[in-house]
Protein backbone atom coordinates (compact mmCIF):
# COMPACT_ATOMS: atom_id res chain seq x y z
CA UNK A 1 0.00 0.00 0.00
CA UNK A 2 2.84 2.36 0.82
CA UNK A 3 4.55 1.64 -2.49
CA UNK A 4 1.26 2.22 -4.34
CA UNK A 5 0.80 5.56 -2.56
CA UNK A 6 4.30 6.68 -3.56
CA UNK A 7 3.63 5.65 -7.18
CA UNK A 8 0.37 7.60 -7.28
CA UNK A 9 2.04 10.72 -5.87
CA UNK A 10 4.94 10.41 -8.34
CA UNK A 11 2.55 9.95 -11.28
CA UNK A 12 0.59 13.02 -10.17
CA UNK A 13 3.82 15.05 -10.00
CA UNK A 14 4.79 14.00 -13.53
CA UNK A 15 1.33 14.88 -14.80
CA UNK A 16 1.47 18.22 -13.04
CA UNK A 17 4.85 19.03 -14.59
CA UNK A 18 3.33 18.68 -18.05
CA UNK A 19 0.94 21.58 -17.46
CA UNK A 20 3.23 23.90 -15.48
CA UNK A 21 4.91 26.44 -17.77
CA UNK A 22 8.70 26.28 -17.83
CA UNK A 23 9.07 22.69 -16.60
CA UNK A 24 10.97 20.16 -18.71
CA UNK A 25 7.89 18.04 -19.43
CA UNK A 26 5.89 21.08 -20.48
CA UNK A 27 8.64 22.35 -22.76
CA UNK A 28 8.87 18.98 -24.51
CA UNK A 29 5.09 18.72 -24.94
CA UNK A 30 4.71 22.26 -26.31
CA UNK A 31 6.75 21.87 -29.54
CA UNK A 32 4.90 18.67 -30.46
CA UNK A 33 1.70 20.77 -30.52
CA UNK A 34 3.04 22.39 -33.69
CA UNK A 35 2.52 19.19 -35.69
CA UNK A 36 -1.31 18.92 -35.49
CA UNK A 37 -1.59 22.63 -36.36
CA UNK A 38 1.12 23.07 -38.99
CA UNK A 39 2.01 19.54 -40.09
CA UNK A 40 5.56 18.30 -40.41
CA UNK A 41 8.42 20.84 -40.32
CA UNK A 42 10.03 21.68 -43.65
CA UNK A 43 13.59 22.69 -42.76
CA UNK A 44 15.89 21.54 -39.96
CA UNK A 45 18.87 23.83 -39.28
CA UNK A 46 21.84 23.28 -36.97
CA UNK A 47 23.80 26.51 -36.54
CA UNK A 48 27.13 26.31 -34.68
CA UNK A 49 29.08 29.23 -33.30
CA UNK A 50 32.29 30.03 -35.17
CA UNK A 51 34.95 31.09 -32.61
CA UNK A 52 36.92 32.69 -35.47
CA UNK A 53 34.26 35.31 -36.18
CA UNK A 54 35.81 38.79 -36.14
CA UNK A 55 32.96 39.95 -33.89
CA UNK A 56 34.38 37.62 -31.23
CA UNK A 57 38.12 37.90 -31.82
CA UNK A 58 38.05 41.71 -31.99
CA UNK A 59 36.35 41.87 -28.57
CA UNK A 60 38.95 39.71 -26.80
CA UNK A 61 41.84 41.08 -24.77
CA UNK A 62 45.38 40.04 -25.75
CA UNK A 63 46.03 36.45 -24.71
CA UNK A 64 42.36 35.56 -24.33
CA UNK A 65 40.58 32.77 -26.18
CA UNK A 66 36.86 32.57 -27.04
CA UNK A 67 36.33 29.92 -24.36
CA UNK A 68 37.63 32.43 -21.78
CA UNK A 69 34.81 34.88 -22.52
CA UNK A 70 31.45 33.14 -22.53
CA UNK A 71 29.73 36.51 -22.28
CA UNK A 72 31.17 37.67 -25.60
CA UNK A 73 30.52 34.35 -27.32
CA UNK A 74 26.94 34.26 -26.06
CA UNK A 75 26.22 37.84 -27.09
CA UNK A 76 27.66 37.46 -30.59
CA UNK A 77 26.00 34.11 -31.23
CA UNK A 78 22.63 35.42 -30.05
CA UNK A 79 22.91 38.31 -32.50
CA UNK A 80 23.95 35.98 -35.33
CA UNK A 81 20.99 33.66 -34.72
CA UNK A 82 18.60 36.61 -34.62
CA UNK A 83 20.11 38.00 -37.80
CA UNK A 84 19.80 34.64 -39.56
CA UNK A 85 16.15 34.18 -38.57
CA UNK A 86 15.34 37.76 -39.60
CA UNK A 87 17.07 37.05 -42.92
CA UNK A 88 15.13 33.81 -43.47
CA UNK A 89 11.81 35.49 -42.73
CA UNK A 90 12.38 38.79 -44.55
CA UNK A 91 13.95 37.43 -47.73
CA UNK A 92 12.03 34.12 -47.78
CA UNK A 93 15.16 32.07 -48.46
CA UNK A 94 13.20 28.80 -48.41
CA UNK A 95 9.77 30.39 -48.81
CA UNK A 96 7.37 32.22 -46.54
CA UNK A 97 7.97 31.19 -42.90
CA UNK A 98 4.82 30.20 -41.04
CA UNK A 99 6.47 29.54 -37.66
CA UNK A 100 9.71 28.25 -36.17
CA UNK A 101 11.10 26.84 -32.92
CA UNK A 102 14.52 25.89 -31.65
CA UNK A 103 16.68 24.46 -28.90
CA UNK A 104 19.94 26.06 -27.78
CA UNK A 105 22.79 23.92 -26.47
CA UNK A 106 26.22 24.68 -25.07
CA UNK A 107 29.00 22.26 -25.93
CA UNK A 108 31.43 21.04 -23.32
CA UNK A 109 34.19 23.17 -24.86
CA UNK A 110 32.13 26.30 -24.28
CA UNK A 111 30.66 27.03 -27.71
CA UNK A 112 26.90 27.22 -28.34
CA UNK A 113 24.89 25.79 -31.20
CA UNK A 114 21.19 25.84 -31.93
CA UNK A 115 18.78 23.43 -33.58
CA UNK A 116 15.96 25.17 -35.45
CA UNK A 117 12.84 23.79 -37.11
CA UNK A 118 11.10 25.90 -39.72
CA UNK A 119 7.55 25.49 -41.00
CA UNK A 120 6.78 27.05 -44.39
CA UNK A 121 3.45 28.24 -45.74
CA UNK A 122 4.04 26.31 -48.97
CA UNK A 123 5.73 22.93 -48.65
CA UNK A 124 8.97 22.28 -50.52
CA UNK A 125 8.64 19.49 -53.05
CA UNK A 126 11.44 16.87 -53.34
CA UNK A 127 12.52 18.12 -56.77
CA UNK A 128 13.16 21.60 -55.28
CA UNK A 129 15.64 20.38 -52.66
CA UNK A 130 18.72 20.94 -54.85
CA UNK A 131 17.72 24.59 -55.24
CA UNK A 132 18.19 25.22 -51.51
CA UNK A 133 20.48 22.50 -50.14
CA UNK A 134 23.80 21.12 -51.34
CA UNK A 135 25.93 18.23 -50.14
CA UNK A 136 28.79 18.85 -52.52
CA UNK A 137 32.08 20.74 -52.46
CA UNK A 138 31.63 23.96 -54.47
CA UNK A 139 33.92 24.62 -57.40
CA UNK A 140 36.87 26.71 -56.28
CA UNK A 141 37.19 28.69 -59.51
CA UNK A 142 33.47 29.66 -59.48
CA UNK A 143 33.16 30.75 -55.83
CA UNK A 144 36.48 30.70 -53.92
CA UNK A 145 34.91 32.27 -50.79
CA UNK A 146 32.21 29.61 -50.49
CA UNK A 147 34.77 26.92 -51.30
CA UNK A 148 36.95 28.08 -48.41
CA UNK A 149 33.99 28.16 -45.98
CA UNK A 150 32.69 24.71 -46.92
CA UNK A 151 36.08 22.98 -46.89
CA UNK A 152 36.80 24.42 -43.43
CA UNK A 153 33.36 24.25 -41.77
CA UNK A 154 31.18 21.64 -43.47
CA UNK A 155 33.43 18.59 -43.77
CA UNK A 156 32.71 15.72 -41.39
CA UNK A 157 35.69 14.05 -39.74
CA UNK A 158 37.22 12.47 -41.56
CA UNK A 159 36.74 9.25 -39.65
CA UNK A 160 36.67 5.51 -40.36
CA UNK A 161 39.86 4.07 -41.79
CA UNK A 162 41.25 7.59 -42.28
CA UNK A 163 40.89 8.41 -38.58
CA UNK A 164 39.70 5.47 -36.43
CA UNK A 165 40.10 7.53 -33.22
CA UNK A 166 37.57 10.17 -34.25
CA UNK A 167 34.98 11.03 -31.55
CA UNK A 168 32.14 9.96 -33.85
CA UNK A 169 33.39 6.37 -34.04
CA UNK A 170 31.22 3.86 -32.16
CA UNK A 171 32.10 0.16 -32.30
CA UNK A 172 34.27 0.69 -35.35
CA UNK A 173 31.63 2.65 -37.30
CA UNK A 174 30.79 6.32 -37.71
CA UNK A 175 27.72 7.19 -35.64
CA UNK A 176 26.84 9.86 -38.23
CA UNK A 177 27.02 7.31 -41.08
CA UNK A 178 29.94 8.93 -42.89
CA UNK A 179 31.31 8.60 -45.47
CA UNK A 180 28.05 8.65 -47.42
CA UNK A 181 27.62 6.99 -50.80
CA UNK A 182 27.99 8.76 -54.11
CA UNK A 183 24.58 9.66 -55.56
CA UNK A 184 23.95 11.13 -59.01
CA UNK A 185 20.56 12.65 -58.16
CA UNK A 186 18.82 13.62 -54.92
CA UNK A 187 16.37 10.97 -53.72
CA UNK A 188 13.64 11.18 -51.09
CA UNK A 189 14.59 9.07 -48.05
CA UNK A 190 12.30 6.87 -45.98
CA UNK A 191 13.79 7.95 -42.63
CA UNK A 192 12.63 11.54 -42.85
CA UNK A 193 15.59 12.96 -44.77
CA UNK A 194 16.48 12.69 -48.46
CA UNK A 195 19.61 11.18 -49.93
CA UNK A 196 21.32 14.26 -51.32
CA UNK A 197 23.20 14.42 -54.58
CA UNK A 198 26.88 13.64 -54.06
CA UNK A 199 28.60 13.25 -57.40
CA UNK A 200 31.81 11.28 -57.64
CA UNK A 201 34.99 12.83 -59.10
CA UNK A 202 34.31 10.79 -62.24
CA UNK A 203 30.93 12.55 -62.57
CA UNK A 204 32.44 15.98 -62.06
CA UNK A 205 32.40 16.14 -58.28
CA UNK A 206 35.11 18.15 -56.52
CA UNK A 207 37.82 16.84 -54.20
CA UNK A 208 40.69 18.31 -52.21
CA UNK A 209 43.62 17.23 -50.04
CA UNK A 210 43.26 17.57 -46.27
CA UNK A 211 46.04 17.31 -43.70
CA UNK A 212 45.03 15.45 -40.53
CA UNK A 213 46.31 16.31 -37.05
CA UNK A 214 48.58 13.28 -37.31
CA UNK A 215 50.24 14.89 -40.32
CA UNK A 216 48.79 12.37 -42.77
CA UNK A 217 47.35 13.70 -46.01
CA UNK A 218 43.99 12.35 -47.17
CA UNK A 219 41.67 12.99 -50.09
CA UNK A 220 38.24 14.47 -49.32
CA UNK A 221 35.34 14.24 -51.77
CA UNK A 222 31.58 14.81 -51.66
CA UNK A 223 30.99 11.77 -49.45
CA UNK A 224 32.22 13.78 -46.44
CA UNK A 225 30.18 16.96 -46.95
CA UNK A 226 27.53 17.91 -44.37
CA UNK A 227 24.41 19.27 -46.17
CA UNK A 228 24.27 23.06 -46.23
CA UNK A 229 22.54 26.05 -47.81
CA UNK A 230 25.13 27.89 -49.96
CA UNK A 231 23.53 31.29 -49.30
CA UNK A 232 23.48 30.93 -45.50
CA UNK A 233 27.01 29.49 -45.36
CA UNK A 234 28.39 32.32 -47.44
CA UNK A 235 26.69 35.04 -45.39
CA UNK A 236 27.37 33.72 -41.88
CA UNK A 237 30.68 31.88 -42.39
CA UNK A 238 29.92 29.06 -39.96
CA UNK A 239 28.83 25.45 -39.70
CA UNK A 240 25.16 25.62 -40.72
CA UNK A 241 23.73 22.18 -41.42
CA UNK A 242 20.47 22.47 -43.37
CA UNK A 243 18.23 19.44 -43.85
CA UNK A 244 14.99 18.97 -45.74
CA UNK A 245 12.42 17.36 -43.45
CA UNK A 246 10.18 14.69 -44.88
CA UNK A 247 8.56 13.56 -41.62
CA UNK A 248 7.92 14.60 -37.99
CA UNK A 249 10.95 12.55 -36.87
CA UNK A 250 13.19 15.62 -36.75
CA UNK A 251 11.05 17.50 -34.22
CA UNK A 252 11.56 14.67 -31.71
CA UNK A 253 15.32 14.97 -32.28
CA UNK A 254 15.22 18.66 -31.38
CA UNK A 255 12.93 18.22 -28.37
CA UNK A 256 15.20 15.68 -26.68
CA UNK A 257 17.89 18.37 -26.16
CA UNK A 258 15.83 20.30 -23.63
CA UNK A 259 16.17 17.45 -21.12
CA UNK A 260 19.84 16.60 -21.59
CA UNK A 261 21.16 18.45 -18.56
CA UNK A 262 22.67 21.66 -17.26
CA UNK A 263 24.82 22.34 -20.33
CA UNK A 264 21.74 23.43 -22.27
CA UNK A 265 20.78 27.09 -22.21
CA UNK A 266 17.11 26.83 -23.05
CA UNK A 267 14.28 26.32 -25.49
CA UNK A 268 12.21 28.91 -27.27
CA UNK A 269 9.08 27.89 -29.17
CA UNK A 270 7.46 30.57 -31.29
Q: Report pLDDT digits (tens) over 58-86.
A: 999 999 999 899 999 999 999 999 999 99
Over 80: is that where the pLDDT of 15 sits?
no
Residue 208 near residue 216, CB atoms below 8 Å: no
In the sheet with 240-244, reading across from the earlier edge strand, the strands are 240-244, 43-48, 112-120, 97-106, 264-269
What is the helix, strand, coil percentage profile of the chain, to 5?
40, 20, 40
Over 60: is that where the pLDDT of 194 sits?
yes
Residues 6+ apart with CB under 8 A from 67: 51, 73, 109, 110, 111
Over 60: is that where the pLDDT of 3 sits?
no
If one compares 130 and 213, the residue with the highest pLDDT of the two is 130
Lowest-confidence region among 40-49, 218-227, 248-257: 248-257
Residue 225 φ then ψ, to 5°: -85, 130
pLDDT band (50, 70, 90) for residue 103 = confident
pTM strictly above 0.95:
no
Other C-beta atoms closer than 10 Å to the C-beta of 222 total: 23
Helices H / strands E in the chain, number of each: 9, 9
Percent of the chain with pLDDT over 70: 77
Other C-beta atoms closer than 10 Å to the C-beta of 63 total: 6
Average pLDDT over residues 192-196: 79
CATH of domain 39-126+229-270: 3.30.70
| Residue 208 β-bridge partners | 220
Peptide bond into 179 cis (omega under 30): yes
Instruction: Classify each residue of 225-239 as buried b or exposed e, where b means 16 or more C-beta atoms within 10 Å of its C-beta.
Output: bbbbbbbbbeebbbb
Amino acid sequence: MEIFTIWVRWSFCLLLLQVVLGTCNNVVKTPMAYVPNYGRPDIFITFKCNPKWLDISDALFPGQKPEDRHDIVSRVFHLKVKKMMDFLIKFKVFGRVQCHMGSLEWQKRGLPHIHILVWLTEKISPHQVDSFISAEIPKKDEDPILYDIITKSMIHGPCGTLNPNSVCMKEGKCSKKFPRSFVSETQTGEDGYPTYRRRSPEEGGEKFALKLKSGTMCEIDNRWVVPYCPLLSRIFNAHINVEYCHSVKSIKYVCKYVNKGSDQAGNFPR
